[in-house]
């Protein structure tokens, strides 16, 4: 009996999702917002320019220092990961958003 109720709830949930999907209008995401292009360009320039490289190098150096103090390589890995995320995040986000439009 419990199994039947679980499958019935799943069926009702699936039907509700299908109804919402079929009843929705076309999405128009990403078609406007040109007033923010200047800010986006500025932030990408900061993260991938000299400022971003300095911050990324700082993350690596802090991770290296923390790794030496703690005698663990994980802090260095976190510093490198943060530096990579800072530098490549605009490219990844732009690729994801461009793929969705």
Give this prediction's pTM: 0.56
Segment 17-33, tens digit of pLDDT: 555 555 555 555 556 66
CB 90 within 8 A of CB 47: yes
Nearest to 91 by CA among 57, 52, 62: 52
Segment 38-55, tens digit of pLDDT: 888 898 888 888 998 899
Residue 48: alpha-carbon gap to chain centroid: 16
């Amino acid at each position: 009996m419990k199994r039947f109720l679980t499958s019935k709830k799943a069926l009702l949930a699936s039907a509700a999702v299908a109804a919402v999907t079929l009843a929705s209008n076309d999405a128009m995401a990403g078609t406007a917002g040109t007033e923010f292009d200047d800010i986006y360009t500025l932030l990408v320039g900061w993260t991938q320019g000299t400022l971003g490289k300095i911050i990324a190098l700082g993350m690596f150096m802090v991770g290296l220092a923390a790794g030496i103090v703690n005698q663990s390589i994980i802090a260095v890995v976190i510093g490198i990961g943060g530096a990579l995320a800072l530098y490549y995040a605009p490219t990844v986000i732009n690729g994801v958003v461009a793929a969705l439009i």
